[in-house]
Amino acid sequence: QDYEMTLAHVLSDQSAYQVILTRFEELVEERTDGRIAVEVQCCGQAGNETRAIQAIRTGVLTGGFVGGSSLENVVPAYRVLSLPYVFSGSDEAYEILGGETGREMLDLLGEYGMYGLGWGAIFERSVGSRTPVASVEDMQGLKIRVLPTPGFVEAYKAMGTQPTPMAYGELFMALQNGVVDALEISPDAIVADKFVEVVDHYTLTKAHQSTTVFVLSDAFWSGLPDDLKTIVQEAALDAIAHGVEAHRELNRAGLEQVRAMGITVTEPDLAPFAEAARPSWDVILADAPEAQALLETIQAARQ
């Protein structure tokens, strides 16, 4: 054994992250004949994503899975990913990030001491609420807990809601007591974190496709000989392909479960939502010319 990799993530040992990283562990150990040993640490054992990214950048940690929205705070260009309705849906997001544009974006990480192995599962976030949200008009004045980043806060402001800051851990109680009316969340998480017990409606507004990235410390990556680099890179993409399939399944099951719990699932026409959210783009990208440039590339890729 010549190399050790410790790969961390903050989600549970049932999550897509875990599925991908354990598959990666199997593939790498098998294809390198044990020259690389991989250890996966789930559940935030290596700290929250802010710290994990710091640790990866400084070589304290080999790598792991982090959310694109956490990387935004380091790589300004990534803010483009939290623009509402920048992708038409998760299929388009998978396609663009899996292609040339995605690779270009991963290469941006190099400047910050990281190497991107690939884009992982995409979490399509929609609105769960106590009151029905059939159209964008129903969003007016809705007290909603959103991810506390400008990409989410501004988007939901533009759609007429009142984004309310709230720790995720306090959210269940807050919904139960009506301190907030709604949350934005992916189908698998609304089931896993039991929010199905406190909302009556789930509206597939799909404003954000939350991306995830498999990153390594650049210090580790550049120290690997070329043959191992190839194996690691390929194993990562194979593991991701496997994990994304599992994640889609989890999503399907999540939506089914949501319906089974008696929650009204609505699929509204998204055009009015996208239109209402659009003015937030300028605010979100205001101080990030890098993201503006990247937006043009993504829009070109969408054609």
Partner 1 sequence: MGALLLLLLVLFTAGVPIALALGIAPLPTLMDRNIPLIAIPQVIFESLDSFALMALPLYVLAGRLMQFGGIAERLVHLAVALVSWMPGGLGAAVVLTSMMFATISGSSAATAAAIGSMLIPEMERQRYPRPFSAATTASSGELGVILPPSVPMVLYGVIAGVSIGDLFIAGFLPGLMIGLSLILVVSLTAWAKGYGKRVPFSLGVWAPDVWRALRRAALSLMMPVIILGGIFGGVFTATEAAVVAVAYALFLGVVVYRKITVRDLPRIFADAAVTSAVVMIIVAFAAMFAFSLNVIRAPQTIGAALASVSENPLVFLLLVNLFLLVVGMFMETFAAIIILAPILAPIALSYGIDPVHFGLIMIVNLAIGMVTPPVGVNLFIACGIARISMEELMRPLAVFLAILVLNLMVVTYVPGLSLGLLR
Partner 2 sequence: MRTVLAGVDKLNAVLALVVGALLAVTAGAVLYQVIVRFVLTAAGINVSAPWTEELARYTLIWMVFLGAGVGCRRAQMIALEFLVRRMPARIGVPIRYGTIALSIAFFGLLFWIGLPFVELGRTETSPVMNLEKSVVYWALPVGAMLMILNSIALVVECTLDKRDIRFAADGPAAD
Q: Which is nearer to partner 2, 12 or 58 (CB)?
A: 58
121 binds partner 1 (CB under 8 A): no
Two structure tokens written together for 19: 């599925």
222 binds partner 1 (CB under 8 A): no
Size of the site for partner 2 (CB under 8 A): 23
Two structure tokens written together for 83: 């623009």
Which span sits near partner 1 by CB under 8 A: 78-86, 162-170, 199-207, 283-291? 162-170
Q: How far apart are CA 21 and CA 26, in angstroms?
A: 9
Two structure tokens written together for 204: 């597939």
246 binds partner 1 (CB under 8 A): no
- Could you give the residue ranges of the DSSP H alpha helices within the chain? 16-31, 49-57, 68-71, 90-98, 100-107, 150-158, 171-176, 187-192, 218-222, 226-260, 271-277, 280-285, 289-302
205 binds partner 2 (CB under 8 A): no
What is the Rg, in whole angstroms, of the alpha carbon atoms belonging to the chain?
A: 19
188 binds partner 2 (CB under 8 A): no
Main-chain phi, psi angles of 73, to 5 degrees: -75, -10
Q: Which of 169, 226, 262, 300 binds partner 1 (CB under 8 A)?
A: 169
Identify residues 279-298 at the interface with partner 1 (CB under 8 A).
none
Q: Which of 1, 12, 14, 48 binds partner 1 (CB under 8 A)?
A: 48
1 binds partner 1 (CB under 8 A): no
- The burial of 225, by beta-carbon neighbours within 10 Å (0-12 exposed, 13-18 middle, 19 or more buried), is given as exposed
164 binds partner 2 (CB under 8 A): yes
Identify residues 7-46 at the interface with partner 1 (CB under 8 A).
45
Size of the site for partner 1 (CB under 8 A): 18
User: Could you tell me how far CA 244 lies from the centroid of its own chain?
Assistant: 12
Identify residues 27-86 at the interface with partner 2 (CB under 8 A).
50, 54, 57-58, 69, 72-74, 76
208 binds partner 2 (CB under 8 A): no
173 binds partner 1 (CB under 8 A): yes
Q: Which amino acid is at 84?
A: P
Between the two ends of the chain, the Cα-to-Cα distance in Å is 47
Which of 32, 19, 13, 11 is closest to 228 using CA atoms? Answer: 32
Interaction site with partner 1 (CB under 8 A): 45, 47-48, 50-51, 54-55, 58-60, 167, 169-170, 173-174, 176-177, 179
Interaction site with partner 2 (CB under 8 A): 50, 54, 57-58, 69, 72-74, 76, 112, 141, 143, 148-150, 153, 157, 162-165, 179, 287
